[in-house]
């Protein structure tokens, strides 16, 4: 794990780490494939097939981290260990989890597994941005036929079976230009946008019994000109929504359009164009057979009943579920400082998740 932390891999600059991981995997006599997602930004893929028919399992982890940021007391790439914690950018999000996936895959090969089914290990780029890495796996067919997936995001040793999704809406508000000395001759688009801003809290959306309500947040507003005597005829807003299971991006967009119509302004709302889809919310049903297996093994390893939880933010799980149609469960370590200074992971929790993943894979593929 320390080697991963000591290798910088800020989102967009994952190439060095990807090749280091590939080199390590090859030294473990594992078959490695590099998938170029963007120039110098490859996914790393290992596929192990058993001799008998069986389930296909995907273990997915991301290599990228957020920027270092300010305020660090410790070296962000030092992998410093203090009081049972390792500090460094990406320790808990998610190089600890990724290192466990690498170790588990190598152990399975050493033990002659899988005997049945197939294991696909993927170390991906761009999770911290717009999920280009995992989306590329889906689009290329790497995930075709996968029955079950797991991701070691930080979960505090809880089994995460649901996620908020996320969508960003681009709202273009239209006005009418006029000389600013005669504003009554025009329609000020910025002022009309203000009406929308004050009305946004009226959008509620359904309440999920476990995750709560969808959120709404204005990311950006822009319009008008400086030192020009002109009533602004255009204003643009970006509105961020974190959605709960049962409340889709389409439903949220419909609610926003209805609000715009209700307050009587001239505006339209759309999803901004991007390379990957926005993340839809999801939850894995409580009766999913893989969930029963995971919670049973987690309980055995931890010596206490497994705790089911949910994440407030989207991640690559949402892409696997919504685009790949793959039931996906997360289980990962305990730590702190995610996307902040002095990020750390609790080392005892890393040992636990490594044991859990190994036992799950043995049970499914053995």
Residue range 261-314, pLDDT digits in tens: 999 999 999 999 999 999 999 999 999 999 999 999 999 999 999 999 999 888
> Domain residues of the chain, as ranges?
2-163+281-365, 165-270
CATH architecture of 2-163+281-365: 3-Layer(aba) Sandwich (3.40)
Nearest of 157, 160, 161 to residue 303 by alpha carbon = 157
165-270 domain in CATH 3.40.50.620? no
pLDDT tens digits for the chain (366 residues)? 999 999 999 999 999 999 999 999 999 999 999 999 999 999 999 999 999 999 999 999 999 999 999 999 999 999 999 999 999 999 999 999 999 999 999 999 999 999 999 999 999 999 999 999 999 999 999 999 999 999 999 999 999 999 999 999 999 999 999 999 999 999 999 999 999 999 999 998 899 999 999 999 999 999 998 878 999 999 999 999 999 999 999 999 999 999 999 999 999 999 999 999 999 999 999 999 999 999 999 999 999 999 999 998 889 999 999 999 999 999 999 999 999 999 999 999 999 999 999 999 999 999
């Amino acid at each position: 794990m320390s080697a991963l932390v000591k290798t910088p891999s800020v989102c967009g600059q994952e190439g060095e780490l990807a090749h280091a991981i590939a080199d390590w995997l090859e030294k473990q006599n594992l078959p490695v494939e590099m998938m170029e997602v963007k120039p110098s930004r490859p996914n790393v893929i290992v596929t192990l097939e058993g001799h008998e028919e069986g389930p296909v399992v995907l273990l997915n982890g991301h290599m990228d981290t957020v920027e270092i940021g300010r305020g660090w007391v410790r070296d962000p790439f030092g992998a410093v260990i203090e009081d049972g914690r390792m500090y460094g950018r990406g320790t808990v999000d998610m190089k600890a989890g990724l290192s466990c996936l690498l170790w588990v895959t190598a152990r399975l090969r050493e033990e002659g597994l899988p005997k049945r089914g197939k294991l696909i290990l993927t170390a991906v780029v761009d999770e911290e941005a717009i999920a280009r890495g995992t989306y590329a796996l889906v689009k290329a067919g790497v995930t075709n036929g996968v029955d079950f997936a797991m991701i070691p995001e930080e979960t505090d040793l809880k089994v995460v079976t649901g996620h908020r999704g996320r969508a960003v809406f681009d709202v273009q508000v239209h006005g009418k230009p006029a000389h600013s000395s005669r504003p009554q001759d025009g329609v000020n688009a910025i002022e009309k946008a203000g009406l929308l801003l004050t009305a946004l809290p009226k959008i509620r959306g359904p309440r999920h019994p476990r995750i709560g309500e969808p959120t709404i947040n204005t990311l950006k507003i822009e319009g008008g000109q400086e030192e020009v005597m002109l009533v602004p005829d255009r204003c643009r807003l970006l509105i961020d929504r974190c959605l709960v299971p049962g409340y889709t991006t389409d439903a949220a967009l419909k609610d926003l359009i209805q609000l715009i119509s209700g307050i009587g302004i001239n505006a339209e709302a759309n999803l901004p164009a991007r390379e990957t889809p926005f993340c839809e919310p999801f939850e894995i049903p409580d009766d999913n057979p893989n969930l029963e297996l995971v919670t049973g093994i987690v309980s055995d390893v931890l010596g206490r009943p497994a705790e089911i939880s949910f994440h407030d933010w989207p991640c690559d799980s949402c892409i696997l579920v919504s685009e790949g149609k793959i039931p996906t469960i997360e289980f990962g370590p305990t730590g702190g400082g995610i996307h902040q200074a002095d990020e750390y992971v609790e080392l005892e929790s890393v040992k636990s998740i490594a044991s859990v993943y190994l036992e799950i894979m043995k049970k499914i593929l053995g």
